[in-house]
Amino acid sequence: MPPGRLRHGLAAVLLCIATVSSAVETFAVDVGRAAVGGAVVHGIRLSYGLGDGALTVNIDRLDLPGDQPPVRDVRIDCPAARLAPDRVTCADARLSASWAPVGTVAADAAATWRRDTGTLDVTLPSLPVGGSGLRVAAHYGPGGWRVNAQGNGLAPGAILALAGDAVRGWQAGGGTVSVNATFSGDAAGVLRTAGEIVLEGLSGGSASGLQAAEGVTGRLSWAARGGDGDWFGQTEAALDGGQVYSDPVFVDLAAHPLTLRTDLTVPETLDSVHLSRLRVDQPGLVSGQGTLTWASGRGIVAADVTPLTLSLPAAYATYARPFLTGGGFPEVAGDGNATLRAAFADGVLRSVNLRLSGVGLDGADYRLNGLDARLDWRAGDLDAPAASRLSVQGGSLHGVPVGAFDARALLHGDGGRLLAPLRVPIADGALAVERLALSGLAGDNPAAALDARVTPISLGPVTQALGWPRFGGTLSGELPTLRYANGTASVAGTLRIEAFKGLIRLQDLVLSDPFGVAPRLTGELTAQGLDLETLTTAFEFGRITGTLEGRVTGLRLVGWQPAAFDAWFHTPVDDPVPHRISQRAIEALSSIGGSGAAGALSRGLLSVFDAFGYARLGLGCRLSGDVCLMRGVGPAENGYYIVEGASVPRVDVIGHVDRVSWSTFIRQLAGVTAGGAPVVE
Amino acid sequence: MTAIKRLGLVPLFMLLAACVTINVYFPAVAAEKAADRIIKDVWGPEDGAPPTREQAPEGDDTQGRAPGAERPLAIRLLDTLITPAHAQEPRIDISSPAVKRLTASMEKRFSRLRPYYESGAVGLTRDALVAVRDLNSVPLAERGSVRQLVSAENADRNALYREIAVANDHPEWEQRIRGVFAERWVRNARDGWYYQNDGGKWVRK
């Protein structure tokens, strides 16, 4: 006989002996497969020792309802089962099982099966879960089944393990969780559930730290019933201690306790949740109601806000400001409130209705007070939105007072337009907007087109508000088309400034990146008929009579600081105004040229004269980098004339330095004198 | 004969081309010095000794130009003809208003970012930016503002590298300047701060 066949024969004999032996001492049943209350049990084997009364139940696998992983290798050892005619009792059983979320567990158990009622009661007084004991009581009978689990002071790590994939990678910190949950049903599955979870100082969060809780205290309760298809229920969450961060929002629950209450509907497929009569209350921040539908794999697919009342400014600071990154966004000041209604369907926002009352906005350079608004927006052109209205009681722009104004507009899709001309009072004038159209607001390149004009604004109060020397004149202009696109605003018209009895024109103005750290402004400037006496008096520059005209080309400001320009200012050839220049003005002009003539005239013979006649004056600067290339009205020996004298006594101001550091030049203009004195002839 | 004459022009063109090449070298050492000056402005003087790596004199660019003695005589002759402007010691201008403003903006932000550099919550990335390294070490109430600080700092840094390149009339230098800054930020970083090494791994200095 071949050795292989011999081994097979031996094995068959040994198996035979074992079977005979067990047939003598134990009673064994192999049930195979059974379904209990939605769960399916595979491979059940019972054996009962006829001599010692030891009962052993082995279950290979228990498939749970839903997506839960199966329970494996269940073994119940009952060393001394008591078999009575009407019942089987096992008071000191030992249960062990493996379940992926918690690993292998072993616990004491007690079970009673009653023949007369056909009921089975199993109790696990202390199932080791989360560093504490969970008391589980299960009842099974002809009327159905019920499982209740209660545990106090469980470690949150165990709860995270039970929650599965949704919180994969999350870490639990301190705190405890107490649970009291009941599930009941019949052979078809779970029919009812109710319970509550109490959180005490719960800490933990996602591995990235973008979702986190610290010391959270609260209570979550629910009650739901199912059966014929959908599940219906109510749930309430009340969080009243600790802090939570859900990027980028931080909420201090101790300061602003949050209560959420909702009715919910879950279809039999368990792949979506519809929240109806959703109610949010967070004193001092928000209160309101709405509905929400969430679908597995799609997130929030529909929501209605009907309505939400926001307490400002706290609600803005907590729930809106963290989302607004980059420059240009204002802070909300003053106690006001906002009422929001919104509809979100099929994954897109359909409409928004926002009412603001008594709100103040505080931007870096502007402030608006008493803002009331009723904004109505619709996604498509088919739904006609109501006219939106915005009224402001007043404010300021760079410190210049702005008066009350009222705007009416139509907002829809990704743009909007003004319904009526808008007049924004600025100081004693106004910005009158005839047309304003916004488009592409939802994309990366919002665009605005504006037709507006500035009605005369007195420069006196404006210059004072800006902290400049106060001077007269008015600012007015046409902004036939102002376009804003790709972060750049450009003016297609001419801005006119009537100042110093003359006219200054600003053209081809283009402002890029207005809300960035270094906004860039380019343009051209021309000046005509400026009265030098008014100008020099305003800037406390001594006194010069005459007319000034000039031009600045290639002007480029970066961060409101000049980066490049070519400027040339001079008296016109046939100036009808007499040309006189005071001693003080000569000294000031000399300082600008990088010299220190201060006192040179007043100390000498010429000190008897207050003022001198001059033929012409002019000063030019071509700025490149930090270097200003200076020029005057004409060449002089070793330099250029800034002031060319006339009559007797003749005083010339000659600049000898043609390359001046711009920062030095500005310092000198501000009155600091440095370097060698100019030649005074 | 004409062909031979034309052929004779070839070396001259080659010499001219060679001369142009010399002038478009990226002035790496000058860029390092410029970066160090900006970093010193932003971070302030180090609590201990200032960072030193000053073997080469100001403006000398040993990476950009080969030592004179090793170059052909003709090229050295052409150098002298085309000078002085092009053969001047290369400089990186960081005095433009945009660069100054960006530097000031970053300097102002540094006092708020500093505790996070020190705690390791924020680190220096290998692409010359900053990144949140360990948000879990930041108290919940500060997490949003740390992320906003990092985002604003990166917007400034990206603008800074671009503006330096633009101010020096070489917009195409932006990536080179970024590369120099990446190395200099780390070099100037205080002990204990975190930075990304070439492999992208966080390392504590």
Q: What pLDDT is stored for residue B10 in this prediction?
A: 52
- Please report the sign of the dihedral spanned by the C-alpha atoms of residue A7, residue A13, residue A19, residue A22: negative
Q: What is the pLDDT of residue B151?
A: 92
Lowest pLDDT segment from A171-180, A248-257, A475-484: A475-484
Nearest to B97 among A210, A248, A561 (CB): A561
- Looking at the complex, does the CB of residue B79 fall below 8 Å from at least one CB of chain A? no
Taking CB atoms and an 8 Å cutoff, what residues of chain B touch A214?
140
Q: How many CA atoms lie within 13 A of A410 on its CB side?
A: 11
Residue A96 CA from chain centroid, whole number: 50
- pTM for the structure as a whole: 0.74
- Does residue B169 belong to the interface with chain A, where contact is any CB pair within 8 Å? no
Nearest 10 degrees: CA dihedral of B45, B48, B49, B53? Answer: -80
pLDDT for A309-322, tens place per residue?
999 999 999 999 99
Report whether pLDDT(B93) > 90: no
The average pLDDT across A423-452 equals: 87
- B80, B21 in Cβ contact below 8 A? no
**Confidence check: pLDDT of B81 > 80:** no
Residue numbers in B near A516 (CB within 8 A): 155, 159
Instruction: Report residue A40's pLDDT band, with 50, 70 and 90 as the boundaries.
Output: confident
Instruction: Decide: helix, strand or coil at residue B66.
Output: coil
Greater confidence (A638 vs A408) lies with A408
Average pLDDT, chain A: 84
pLDDT for res A611: 83
pLDDT at B5 over 60: no
Nearest CA in chain B to A521: B98
Q: Which residues are CB-contacts of A101 (< 8 A; sequence separation ≥ 6)?
A: A69, A161, A162, A164
Answer with the one of A69, A93, A116 that is the final residue of a domain: A116
pLDDT at B133 over 90: yes
Total domain count for chain A? 2
Give yes or no for residue A334 having a pLDDT over 60.
yes
Domain boundaries, chain B: 1-25+65-90, 28-56+93-204
Nearest to A625 among B93, B148, B155 (CB): B93
Q: Is the pLDDT of residue B144 over 90?
A: yes
With bands split at pLDDT 50, 70 and 90, how would you rate the model's confidence at A36? low
Q: What's chain B's average pLDDT?
A: 76
The yes-or-no verdict on residue B52 having pLDDT over 60 is no
**Residue A458, pLDDT above cutoff 80:** yes
Under the banding of pLDDT at 50, 70 and 90, the label for residue A166 is low
A517/B155 CB distance under 8 A: yes
CA distance A566 to A630: 10
- Most confident range, picked from A26-40, A217-231, B124-138: B124-138
Query: Residue A221 pLDDT > 70, yes or no?
Result: yes
Q: How far apart are CA A455 and CA A433, in angstroms?
A: 11
How many residues are given for chain A? Answer: 681
| Among candidate residues A91, A116, A141, the one where a domain is terminated | A116
Which chain A residues are closer than 8 Å to B97 by Cβ?
518, 557-559, 561-563
Which of A210, A250, A518 has its CB closest to that of B101? A518
Average pLDDT of span A226-244: 91
Can you give the pLDDT at residue A671? 54
- Poorest-confidence range of A216-225, A360-369, B35-44? A360-369
- Which residues in chain A have Cβ-Cβ distances shorter than 8 Å to B93? 625
Beta strands in A297-365 (DSSP E): 299-312, 331-333, 336-345, 348-362
pLDDT, position B186 = 96
Q: For residue B120, what pLDDT band results from cuts at 50, 70 and 90?
A: very high
- Residue whose pair of structure tokens reads 């005979």 in the numeric block: A20
Contact list in A for residue B138 (CB cut-off 8 A) is: 209
Q: Is residue A467 situated within a structural domain?
A: no
Reply yes or no on whether the pLDDT at A561 is more than 90. Answer: no
pLDDT band (50, 70, 90) for residue A2? very low
Complex ipTM more than 0.90, yes or no: no
Q: Residue B8: is its pLDDT beyond 60?
A: no
Please say which residue of A116, A131, A155 terminates a domain. A116
Contacts with B168 from chain A: Cβ below 8 Å: none
CB contact under 8 A, B96 and A322: no
Q: Work out the percent of chain A whose per-residue pLDDT is above 70.
A: 89
Cα gap A135→A149, rounded to integer Å: 6
State residue A199's pLDDT score: 94
Domain that holds residue A62: 26-116
Could A517 and B147 be called an inter-chain contact, meaning their C-beta atoms sit closer than 8 Å?
A: no
pLDDT of the residue at A604: 58
Which of A6-20, A103-117, A626-640, B79-93 comes out lowest in average pLDDT?
A6-20
In percent, the amount of chain B with pLDDT more than 70 equals 67
Q: Cα dihedral sign for B9, B10, B11, B13?
A: positive
A487 to chain B nearest CA, in Å?
A: 14
CA triple A261-A267-A269, angle to 5 deg: 130
Instruction: Evaluate whether residue A183 is within a structural domain.
Output: no
Of A90-104, A341-355, A436-450, A560-574, which gets the smallest average pLDDT? Answer: A436-450
SS3 of residue B154 by DSSP = helix
Whether the predicted pLDDT of A495 surpasses 60? yes
Q: Are B144 and A249 in contact (CB under 8 A)?
A: yes
- Per DSSP (E only), the strands in A443-573 are 447-458, 474-485, 488-491, 495-499, 502-512, 520-531, 544-545, 547-558, 561-570
Question: Span A390-398, mean pLDDT?
Answer: 93
pLDDT at position A478 over 90: no
> What's at A665, amino acid-wise?
F
Interface check for B32 against chain A (CB to CB < 8 A): the answer is no
Q: Do A325 and B134 touch (CB under 8 A)?
A: no
Residue A492 covered by a domain: no
Max mean pLDDT among A537-541, A659-663, B191-195 falls in: B191-195
Contacts of A193 (CB under 8 A, 6+ apart): A181, A182, A183, A184, A222, A223, A224, A225, A233
Q: Inspect the interface and report whether the beta carbons of A244 and B147 lie closer than 8 Å.
A: no
Tell me which of A170, A245, A517 to substitute to probe the interface with B (most B C-beta atoms closer than 10 Å). A517
pLDDT of residue A598: 43
**For the residues B13-25, what does the mean pLDDT come to?**
45
* pLDDT above 50 (res A678): no
Residue A530 CA, chain-centre distance (Å), reads 49
In a domain, A390, yes or no: no
Please report whether residue A264 resides in a domain: no
Q: Say how far apart CA A344 and CA A291 lie, in whole Å.
A: 10
What is the predicted pLDDT for the residue at A34? 77
